[in-house]
Chains A and B, each alone.
Chain A
Amino acid sequence: NAGVTQTPKFQVLKTGQSMTLQCAQDMNHNSMYWYRQDPGMGLRLIYYSASEGTTDKGEVPNGYNVSRLNKREFSLRLESAAPSQTSVYFCASSAQGDGYTFGSGTRLTVV
C-alpha cells in the first residue's frame, strides 16, 4: 500500500523556470493538500482540495497553482520560480480533514 506518492524527490530550478510537482494517493481520500515547510516556520498550507473538482487557497498561495486531476491526483505548479520558493514541499491527504497522511516530500531549490 503506497499511501501518498510525490515526485520528484529533489529538484533544482533556475529563477523564472516552471515545474509541476505531482502527488497521488491510493487511500480513496476525499481531501488533498499541499504544504511547504521552512526552517522555523512550521508547515504552511499552500492550497487544498476538499473533494474532487474543488480547490481553494491556503495561507501562502501566491506564485502557485494547483489541479485536482481526479480523486487520486493533486498537482502543484510553479509558473515562474523564485528563490523565495526554495523549500520542502509536502503533499497530504485525509479522509475527513483531520489526521493527514503525508508524502515523502520534494526538496526544491531555486537559484
Chain B
Amino acid sequence: EDKVVQSPLSLVVHEGDTVTLNCSYEVTNFRSLLWYKQEKKAPTFLFMLTSSGIEKKSGRLSSILDKKELFSILNITATQTGDSAVYLCAVNSGGYQKVTFGTGTKLQVIP
C-alpha cells in the first residue's frame, strides 16, 4: 500500500523564521511528488517534483526531492502570517487513481 507521511503534524513559528516541512513516501512506482497549500478552502498547487536534487523555487518557497532516500522538503524563508496554512504533500505513483496524499502539516505563523 502506498504511503505518504508528513512531519511535523503542526508547528508554530514567529514571523521572519525559516521553516522546513518534511514529506517521506513509500510507493511502488514513483512518478511525481506534489506540494499544495491549503488555507480555509481549496488546496492550491505549489510545486511538482520529478527529479532528484533539482530545487524548485517560487519566491520565499522552495522544494527539493531525494528519490534515493524517498523524501522531499519544503522550505519557507522569512515567514509571514499569510503563510499560515496546511501544507499537503502528494505522490503520484503511476496513474489517475494513484495519487496518495499525506495528512498535512499545519503551520501557524504568529506576529
Binding site for B on A (CB under 8 A): 4, 31, 33, 40-45, 48, 50, 56-59, 90, 97-105
Contacts and interface: CB of A to CB of B under 8 A. Distances in A.
A99 B45 contact: yes
Nearest to A47: B97
Contacts, number: 54
Given A40-B103, A42-B102, A97-B95, A102 B32 contact: no
Contacts of A97: 92, 95-96, 99
Contact of A99 (B34, B42, B88): B34
A105 B38 CA distance: 11
Contact of A42 (B41, B45, B88, B97): B88
Interface of B: 4, 31-32, 34, 36, 41-45, 48, 88, 90, 92, 95-97, 99, 101-104
B89 to A, nearest CB: 9
A43 B36 CA distance: 12
Q: What 9 pairs between A and B have smallest CB-CB spacing?
A: A102-B42, A42-B101, A43-B101, A42-B103, A104-B41, A50-B96, A99-B45, A97-B96, A104-B42
